[in-house]
Structure 1
Amino acid sequence: MSNSHLLMKAGFITSPAQNGVGRYVCQLQRVVLKFCKNNGSSRGVRDFIESDLVNFAKDHPGVVVYLKPRRHRGPVIVAEYLNGEKQHVYCRNFTSEVVSKWLTLLKNQQGNHEGMRLRKMWHTDHPSIQGPWTPYTFREPSLNLAEFPNDKLSSPASLEPSATDRLIEAFKKQQLKELE
């Protein structure tokens, strides 16, 4: 095990657990669009502000949008989440559509947890090495090599009776006993 985790900050995810089970709570709190009014690399952000920003604000009333013009700087989108994390996206020479897609992506995320060693509420000295269970875990191994359709596997004689067939047989036996 490496010691690279010693330099990372450790913490718990502070966003609501199972977000979307009861009701969805958008984790994006505020968006700051920083752009230059004259610089050519900010053209896509300026086009987005002129054409699509009002629609974005109407569609997402829980997200506060700030515009911050600044001179001779590249365009940046700063997203701030409910858990206090900030995420910066440098938007140099982006088109209006790409800016819109980035805002949608930032809105759908839970916050930036990269560079954080996530801690758990439980601990075990003997973790499982078996791996996850799948529906194919306990299947018959001969099915792995069989080619379908297979007459041997699909013949009624090779199949054991189902629970319904067993109940029907038990019911018929009970009726025969009552008639005797």
Structure 2
Amino acid sequence: MSNKSLFIKSGFVRAPLQNGVGRYVCQLQRIVLKFCKSHGGSRGIRDFIEQDLVDFAKNSPGTVVYLKPRRHRSPVIVAEYLNGDRVWMSVHQKTHSEITKWIENLRTQQGDVAATRLRKYQYTDHPSIQGPWTPFTFKDPELNTAVLPDPKFGANNRLPVSATEKLRLLFEKQKLSDVQTAE
């Protein structure tokens, strides 16, 4: 582990509160659009505010949208999520379409997952007290001391004869009986 991961918070990638199992809850709680009314670098975000902000607010009623005009500052988008994460993004010199895509991206994610060091690849709210499953979990313990190959542990010895195999055997017997009667 490098020193870089010491300052990154650790956690699990999981759906918060089983989000999407019963119904979907948008994780974006608040979005703040900070921009300058006259600076040229804020042109894209001003175009977004004029053309698409009302539609965005109608399509996502659970998200609070704040507009914060600031003089002579670079435009910034700050997204705050239900799990407490804050994502800060500079949109200086970005076009209207780029800002629309970035805001849609912020709306559909659950926080700043990229800045989280994963502790484990799997996570469950109800861990098993019996331990993890392995391919040998329900195997016969005799198999541990057996010298293989052993016909006792062959896969074909335990399977019952299938209906197709029974029909094939009956056909062969009938064929043999027909050959014997013809002689």
Correspondences of 1:38-77 after superposition (within 5 Å) = 38-77=38-77
Q: Deviations over 1:57-114 (max 9, x none)?
A: 1111111100000000010110000011100111111111111111100011110033
Q: d(CA) in 1 for partners of 2:63 and 2:72?
A: 27
Are 1:105 and 2:98 counterparts? no
Contact 1:41–1:93 (8 Å) recurs in 2: yes
Instruction: Using the TM superposition, give the Cα deviation of residue 6 of structure 1 relative to its aligned residue in structure 2, in angstroms.
Output: 2.9
- Secondary structure in structure 2 of the residue aligned to 1:114: helix
- Secondary structure in structure 1 of the residue aligned to 2:26: coil
Are 1:7 and 2:7 counterparts? yes
| Amino acid paired to 1:165 | T
Correspondences of 1:131-150 after superposition (within 5 Å) = none
Describe the shift of the 1:3–1:71 C-alpha distance in structure 2 as closer, same or farther (beyond 3 A): closer
- Secondary structure in structure 2 of the residue aligned to 1:61: coil
Which runs of 4 or more aligned residues in structure 1 lie more than 2 Å from their structure 2 counterparts after TM superposition? 1-15, 113-122, 163-166
Q: d(CA) in 1 for partners of 2:68 and 2:24?
A: 29
Q: d(CA) in 1 for partners of 2:72 and 2:3?
A: 42
Q: d(CA) in 2 for partners of 1:164 and 1:75?
A: 73
Identity of aligned residues (%): 57
Instruction: Using the TM superposition, give the Cα deviation of residue 22 of structure 1 relative to its aligned residue in structure 2, in angstroms.
Output: 1.7
Give the unaligned 5+ runs of structure 2. 133-161, 175-183
Structure having the larger proportion of residues in helix: 2
Q: d(CA) in 2 for partners of 1:164 and 1:59?
A: 59
Report the aligned-residue RMSD. Answer: 3.0
Q: What's the TM-score once normalised by structure 2's chain length?
A: 0.62
Are 1:165 and 2:153 counterparts? no
